[in-house]
Structure 1
Amino acid sequence: MTVDHQSVPTIEQLIDVVANSSVGITVTDRNGAVLLHNKAQSILMSGEADHLGGRILVDGEHGLPKLLAQLAKEGRFENVQVSYRSADGKQDRVCGVNAVVAGSGDETRIHWVSRPELGERLPVSSTTTENPTSDAAAWIRAVDEREQPVLAPTKEHESVLREFYEVAPVAIHLIGVNGQVMHANPADVALVEYSSTPSEYVGQHIRKIYEDQGLLDDFLSRWDEDSPIINFRANFVTRAGAPKPVLIFSTAQASGGNVSNTRCFVFNDPEPQRARDAVSAFGWPAA
């Protein structure tokens, strides 16, 4: 599916979505040399790519050569567990990685999206006994405090960023303060099965795809606080009305205390059999 112009974010929005997302994003050439990456990826790599020989360093069973070979054969993969390691080998971070190949020949690029494997999630219920200093809270705090890397996306990367949005191996949508789906990439539209009729989803209220309406109300009520949604399991609803188990990583673009839009990255849940998360202290029933 090729999205029409009105559903594509501006270059400023794309830079923000990629640079400040709560998941690691990297674009490499076909050999794994990094062209750009965001600050979340810097944390996963325990350093910036320009300080790591310009390449992503992956340890364990799914080392970089194997990942590149799999991509050369299949063109994409999803929810592959890898460990990013530091140049000195002293640190590693386990992640679930989605990747896709775009272009051909010398113009081949690989788009990588990496979510940290976390034991906790955000937000939590006001009655929860979960630790407020959980790994999910620590993760988003580290991302917020990290400076942009040398290879951060800029307007000079516009064509690559637009390609990333178009072919990204993960669903991405931007929601406005009124709850309207401002923009949704092809993977997001396909996730909820609106590829044949995208206007029935894009431009509509995000309520349309949430199974648990109380959960969404809770999310929407937190936007003024710029409250992140990290490693959160929920069910979306497809166009046909079927539940779609997903894993959400979302933050908001805010300035001067006002939120302009969200940066939502949504993964197919690698463990769809797990119970869905809830945050309301009142136990809202699913719709």
Structure 2
Amino acid sequence: MPNDQQSTPSLEQLIDVIANSSVGIAVTDRAGAVVLHNRAQSVLMGGEADHLGGRILLDSAQDGLQALIERLGKEQRVENVQVTYRGSGGGNEHAARVNAVLTGSGDDARIHWVSRPELSERLPIPNDRTEDVTSDATSWIRAVNERPLPALAPTKELEDVMREFYEVAPVAIHLIGVNGQVMHANPADVALVEYTSSPSDYVGRHIRNIYDDKGLLDDFLGRWDEDSPIINFRANFLTREGAPKPVLIFSTAQAEGGSVTNTRCFVFSDPEPQRARDTISAFGWPA
């Protein structure tokens, strides 16, 4: 996909999508020193990076971090790695699954991290249930929304870093507009649904084309207008050839005046594709 201003988000969109996403995002140097991170990442870390010595802390003594960095040096990219984030003093543990990619070399090397929390629940819930305010999915998005922007949040001065993150991110990212159109999709998202050879057949068109369950999408579109989060939700996308692609969706929306400006959709290949897909209606949608 060409890298120009028409095919990539604006600077303001990038700042919003990265800073306010429902998954943890961090960019570090090769040693794990943080260049930027978002609200969700500070929830996972139990504090801001500058309060943790400026580094991501994994496991009890950073052994987990060093092992993961060494693995990245060999493989360049990892997905669905189980980790435990720890705050200073070993407290505030948060289990997560990490996707990461190493770019550049020497002093120019960066690691781009995307972490989704390990959750047993999801949002939205079936229509025959009332929202459980104690569910881990509800608690997660509340904690993210209530977290102040960290000192190392994305800024205009970090535009080059943010654009590199968007291009190389080890997770699919797309922005959907008020009319359901795919406004922007990063290379990982285009590849996920197998449109790399002809991205214009996907980007700029309605998101309906890649949802297996059209009723589910109709529900989602209404929820995005209400700024209602979609967290840890299992669905099937459709590839260009119409094959089902099991995914996990983490999505929130930037909404103004009861209408969505754009979504912040982060989509992971489901590491458990054999699991049943989630539904909204207790009785299922008509075929």
8 A Cα contact 2:99 2:114, kept in partner: yes
**Partner residue, 1:117:** 118
**Partner SS, residue 6 of structure 1:** coil
**Partner residue, 2:264:** 263
TM-score (norm 1): 0.96
**Partner residue, 1:210:** 211
Deviation at 1:102, TM superposition (A): 1.2
Distance 1:173 1:62 in 2: 34
Distance 1:270 1:108 in 2: 28
Deviation at 1:131, TM superposition (A): 2.6
Deviation at 1:5, TM superposition (A): 3.4
Distance 1:130 1:255, change over 3 A: closer
For structure 1, the 5+ residue unaligned runs are none
Residue type at the aligned position of 1:230: I
**Partner SS, residue 222 of structure 1:** helix
8 A Cα contact 1:253 1:259, kept in partner: yes
Deviation at 1:283, TM superposition (A): 1.4
For structure 2, the 5+ residue unaligned runs are none
8 A Cα contact 2:22 2:141, kept in partner: yes
Counterpart mapping for 1:172-191 below 5 A: 172-191=173-192
Distance 1:173 1:247 in 2: 14
Runs of 4+ off more than 6 Å: none
Cα deviations by residue, 1:151-184 (Å, 9 ceiling, x for unpaired): 0010000000000000000000000010000000
Distance 1:210 1:280 in 2: 16
**Partner residue, 2:19:** 19
Deviation at 1:4, TM superposition (A): 4.2
TM-score (norm 2): 0.96
Deviation at 1:225, TM superposition (A): 1.3
RMSD, matched Cα: 1.5
Distance 1:164 1:2 in 2: 15
Percent of residue pairs identical: 74
Q: Which moved more, 1:163-172 or 1:122-131?
A: 122-131
Distance 1:185 1:62, change over 3 A: farther
8 A Cα contact 2:46 2:91, kept in partner: no
8 A Cα contact 1:3 1:185, kept in partner: no
Residue type at the aligned position of 1:168: A
Distance 1:237 1:3, change over 3 A: farther
Distance 1:143 1:80, change over 3 A: same
8 A Cα contact 2:225 2:253, kept in partner: no
Q: Which moved more, 1:119-128 or 1:106-115?
A: 119-128
Distance 1:139 1:62 in 2: 26
Residue type at the aligned position of 1:103: G
Distance 1:62 1:248 in 2: 30
**Partner SS, residue 88 of structure 2:** coil
**Partner SS, residue 170 of structure 2:** coil
**Partner residue, 1:152:** 153
Cα deviations by residue, 1:250-274 (Å, 9 ceiling, x for unpaired): 0001234432000000001111111
**Partner SS, residue 63 of structure 1:** helix
Residue 36 (1) aligns with residue 36 (2): yes
Cα deviations by residue, 1:105-163 (Å, 9 ceiling, x for unpaired): 11100000000000100011221266343110111111111100000010000000000
8 A Cα contact 1:2 1:166, kept in partner: no
Deviation at 1:285, TM superposition (A): 4.0
**Partner SS, residue 100 of structure 1:** strand
**Partner SS, residue 71 of structure 1:** helix
**Partner SS, residue 97 of structure 2:** strand
Residue type at the aligned position of 2:81: V
Cα deviations by residue, 1:14-49 (Å, 9 ceiling, x for unpaired): 000000000000000000000010010000000100
8 A Cα contact 2:175 2:262, kept in partner: yes
Q: How many residues align?
A: 286
Distance 2:69 2:18 in 1: 22
8 A Cα contact 2:174 2:266, kept in partner: yes
Distance 1:167 1:2, change over 3 A: farther
Distance 1:99 1:185 in 2: 15
Residue type at the aligned position of 1:67: L
